[in-house]
Structure 1
Amino acid sequence: MSKPTTSTVDVSNRTAVVIGGTSGIGRAIVLAFADSGADVVATSRSEDAVEETAEELRSLGAATTMVTCDVREMSSIERLYDEAAAEVGKIDILVNSAGSVAKDPIWSMDMSDWERDIDTNLTGVFRACQVFGREMEQGSIINISSMSAGQAREQRAAYCAAKSGVNGLTRAAAADLAPDVRVNAIEPGFVNTPLAGDAFAEGTDLRAKIDDQTPMERVAQPEEIAGAAVYLASDAASFTTGEIITVDGGYDDSAL
């Protein structure tokens, strides 16, 4: 690997694939990459969402392509890599942001919900790291984890287990893919995304508790997580790998 020519936070003239890039944190990362000069392929299982995001990227002047992807199927991820590389060229950046959340106590959680969360949030990340990791000549893989990886969450057994696994997978993949491909993860705190629904709405008891335990006194917007992804994808992070970067506004759960 050649020495980086700059230490600035810059992803211009690079190509990125963002899995789960049509909504929430993933979409914010897609737009941040495009705004920073990267060509971006945003993908999800929804053809309509992929088409809408691709049109927005083209309006911003970024090269892109339309391709859906289901991280629960290896063949779908392999097709994503092939079609993205054919359209936008060598892939420099991969972001794994697809997610699902089963909400049920452990004693009543259906096995199909457990398997879906593990397959989407953890095994899907493994599949993408494997496919892209063996093809990328050099670059950056960024996995979206969660602060739930290290904190207890009621009725979130599968999600917490999967995100803990993502952190371990990130460190192991970083060791396997070094020195050419860096692998890091971002642990967001509470973020106002469609997946969260109205859970963090102002005026609720939960929102009041979150604000009270967060020095920033609010939940994050997706764009505030995207900045960490731009940094990790850039040469400013050229010596950063195997790290889990927490972006949670200083949240302290010790009072829970």
Structure 2
Amino acid sequence: MSETRTSTVSVADRSAVVIGGTSGIGRAIALAFADDGADVIATSRDEGRVAETAEELRERGATTREITCNVRENESIEALWDAAEEAFGGADVLVNSAGSVARAPISEMTDEQWGQDIDVNLTGVFRACRVFGREMDEGSIINISSMSAGQARENRAAYCAAKSGVNGLTRAAAADLAPDVRVNAIEPGFVKTPLAGDAFDEGTETRAAIDERTPMERVATPEEIAGAAVYLASDAASFTTGQALKIDGAYDDSAL
């Protein structure tokens, strides 16, 4: 790689693949990339959402492809890389944003719940990093972790374990793939997404508790997380790798 770098926060003229890119944070990242001039494949298991998001990307001027992906299947991730190679000649950016949340106390959590959360949230990230890290000439991988990686969350044992693992995987992958491919994570705090339902709506008990412990006195929007992804994918972050960027409004977790 050339040692000459700019400080420009832009992904214009780059190609990106966003796994879990058809809803919530992943969708916001895919659209932000497109708005900034990147070509983007936004994928998930849902064929309808893939088609819908692809249309939104085209409306923003991005070249895209409609392909589904299941991160629990190696062949599916291999096919995703092949689609990016056919469309763009490869990928400059990979975002791992697919997610699963099993809600149960550890004494009642089933093997199936545990297995799904670990497989989707952690092993799926590993699978994608393995394929794209092997094939990318250079670029940026961004793993969507969570502030729960370092917190005790009731009824979320598998999720917390998986996200903690994502942070460790990010650091290890950064070492393995340097200097050509950078690998970083984003740790969102509470974000208003479809997955959260109406729990974070103003006036709810949950929202009031969050606001009380957050100096910013609100939850984040997906677009606020997307801005960090644009930065990490850009040349402005050319010496940033192996890091986990927390975006939680300075949430106070001291009582957890």
Shorter-chain TM-score category? Answer: over 0.9
Is the Cα contact below 8 Å between 2:5 and 2:238 reproduced in 1? no
Output aligned runs, 1:56-135, within 5 Å: 56-135=56-135
Identity over aligned pairs, percent:
76
Matching residue of 2:205: 205
User: Offset of 1:255 from its aligned partner?
Assistant: 3.0
What is the CA RMSD across the aligned residues, in angstroms?
0.8
1:221 matched to 2:221? The reply is: yes
Output aligned runs, 1:12-91, within 5 Å: 12-91=12-91
1:232 matched to 2:232? The reply is: yes
- Residue type of the alignment partner of 1:12: A
Deviations 1:208-252 (A, max 9, x none): 110011010000000000000000000000000000000001101
What is the alpha-carbon distance in structure 2 between the residues aligned to residue 60 and residue 73 of structure 1?
A: 31
User: Offset of 1:199 from its aligned partner?
Assistant: 1.7
User: Offset of 1:12 from its aligned partner?
Assistant: 0.4
Is the Cα contact below 8 Å between 2:105 and 2:154 reproduced in 1? yes
TM-score (norm 2): 0.99
SS in 2 for 1:70: coil
Deviates more, 1:202-211 or 1:180-189: 202-211
TM-score (norm 1): 0.99
| Runs of 4+ deviating beyond 2 Å | none
- Residue type of the alignment partner of 1:122: L
Deviations 1:76-97 (A, max 9, x none): 0000000121012221000000
SS in 2 for 1:134: helix
SS in 1 for 2:135: coil
What is the alpha-carbon distance in structure 1 between the residues aligned to residue 84 and residue 168 of structure 2?
A: 28
Q: Point out where structure 1 has 5 or more consecutive residues left out of the alignment.
A: none
Deviations 1:75-130 (A, max 9, x none): 00000000121012221000000000000000111110110000000000000000
User: Offset of 1:5 from its aligned partner?
Assistant: 3.8
User: Offset of 1:3 from its aligned partner?
Assistant: 2.1
Tell me the matched-pair count: 256
SS in 2 for 1:79: helix
What is the alpha-carbon distance in structure 1 between the residues aligned to residue 155 and residue 199 of structure 2?
A: 14
SS in 2 for 1:185: strand
1:161 matched to 2:158? The reply is: no
- Residue type of the alignment partner of 1:189: G
SS in 2 for 1:53: helix
